[in-house]
Structure 1
Amino acid sequence: MRLLRGTYKRSLETINRHFNDVLTAIQYLSAEFVKLPDPSVQPPDDYKWKWFGNALGALDGCHVDVCVVVADQGRYRNRKQQITTNMIGVVDWNMKFVYVLPGWEGLAFDSRVLLDAMTRQDAFVVPQGKYYTVDAGYTNGPEFLAPFRSTRYHLKEWVSSQQQPKIPKELYNLRHSRARNVVERTFGLWKKK
């Protein structure tokens, strides 16, 4: 250890070793302290979720700014030309993360990241008969409930027009958007911190 401009410097090997020791201890204790949500629990008594009886929460992708070497920036440049990593986040009704898979390049599509999450050794698994609400970037299926395409969906579209739904697909999309908004709010709070 040597003093340099008033700060202590340690070798990377020492930091790496101590970090791994702490991480191993946390993993050892995780079974005692980390409790995943019970999928048999009923959703909260909330008007947003009453239309989605077997839903466990919502799932979405999120772009997070990163610094990468210049040679890799092409893969991490998203559609808005920012250097990001694409992560998938799954939250329950109470805005608690249930599953997170970070690290994908910024130009990776959300559906590709989800496919990877479901095929890993520590795979994201949806219990039988349950599902998560997702946006139109994902495929509708038994485990994922997406909105109708080509029909008004986002909450700001409803607020700005001040109109009520006129057809059943619009009513469904409005209810779906209100429920799935839990993942957007969770990401927003996470990014603020």
Structure 2
Amino acid sequence: MANLNYIYNCNDVESIQMLQMRRSPFYALVTTFKSRGLLVDSINTSVEEQVTMFLHIVDHNPRFRVIHSTFRQSTWTISRYFQQVLCIIGELRGEMIKPASTNTPPKIKNIYRWFPYFRNCIGAIDGTHVTAKVSISMSASFRGRNHYSSQNVLAAMDFDMRFTYVLAGWEGSANDASILADSLTRHDGLQIAEGWDEEDFFQEEFTLDEVEAGDNEAWKEKMEEWADAMWEVRGNTII
């Protein structure tokens, strides 16, 4: 209880370091769960402790055995409440998760170096390989360019480094294009921003005219011309 009271009653700086949120949002979150009957106190675990364990795991990614030493709860209990809080937050995602803006971010709009090329970008898409533990019979399909078994995970982020979409589960040997195509065909998959269409995804080639070395104004004009051409095709453009 002394440890929990320290977490609950610390200052905002300590709260952010431990839970990635200030005390006021933490208590508001707990109050929401309690008032709606989504979480209830058990004999040995309060709602505050359940939420604290969840936030601590999400923030620092410790093993359940480490959380066991901190909160003096069994790994089974920790796993149970982690999944329970995770499911509840998923149900409240429409209220708790702010949709990404479709406006050009200020950090692009206000910098000439980026704006001509990325003036209509609202985020970025990339893939990463995450270690996966699979049976021996399935290990071949999960082993791609890495020497270990992995999942090929697609993630979309906005320019504030917030995830807007994540698709996991594909084998490490899966091609990035196949994963992207799958995400676009799912009913709850990746949504292309308004103004884009599948017909816009085609390959067009642009040739580079001779530009005299040292002529900065000519290069600026050429870069603006490339940016306009790339936006017109909105696809896999080759310059």
Q: What letter is aligned with 2:98?
A: K
Deviations 1:8-45 (A, max 9, x none): 7566xx66654443223212332222012121x12322
Quote the residue 1:25 is aligned against.
Answer: 88
Choose 1 or 2 for highest CA Rg: 2
**Take 1:147 and 1:63, find their aligned partners in 2: how far apart are those partners?**
30
Matched length: 140
Aligned to 1:43: 105
State the one-letter code of the partner of 2:133.
C
Q: How has the CA–CA distance of structure 1 residues 85 and 33 changed in structure 2, closer, same or farther, with 3 Å as cutoff?
A: same
Pick 1 or 2: higher relative contact order, CA cutoff 8 A, min separation 6.
1
Once the two structures are superposed, residues 67-124 of structure 1 have per-residue CA deviations (whole angstroms, 9 ceiling, x without a partner) of 2222211011012333111011112223322211112100000111111111123111
The CA RMSD over aligned residues, in Å, is 3.7
d(CA) in 1 for partners of 2:85, 2:186: 24
How far 1:126 sits from its partner (Å)? 0.8
1:72 is aligned to 138
Of the three residues 12, 34, 38, the one matched with 2:97 is: 34
Q: Give the 3-state SS of the residue equivalent to 1:22 in structure 2.
A: helix
Letter aligned with residue 129 of structure 1:
G
Shift in CA distance, 111/83, structure 1 to aligned 2, threshold 3 Å: same
Tell me: CA distance 1:19–1:93, structure 2 relative to 1, closer, same or farther (3 Å): closer
Q: Percent identity?
A: 31
Judged with a 3 Å threshold, the aligned counterparts in structure 2 of structure 1 residues 80 and 27 are, in CA distance, closer, same or farther, namely: closer
State how far apart, in whole Å, the 2-side matches of 1:25 and 1:147 are: 47
User: 1:101 maps to what in 2?
Assistant: 167
User: What stretches of structure 1 of length at least 5 have no aligned partner?
Assistant: 1-5, 132-139, 149-164, 177-193
Aligned to 1:82: 148
Asked whether the equivalents of residues 151 and 170 of structure 2 are also in contact (C-alpha less than 8 Å), the reply is: yes
TM-score in terms of structure 2 length:
0.47
TM-score normalised to structure 1 length: 0.57
Q: Matches of 2:89 and 2:176 in 1, distance apart? A: 30
Bigger helix share: 2
| Bigger strand fraction | 1
TM superposition shift of 1:61: 1.4
2:127 corresponds in structure 1 to 61
Runs of 4+ with deviation above 4 angstroms = 6-11, 14-17, 144-148
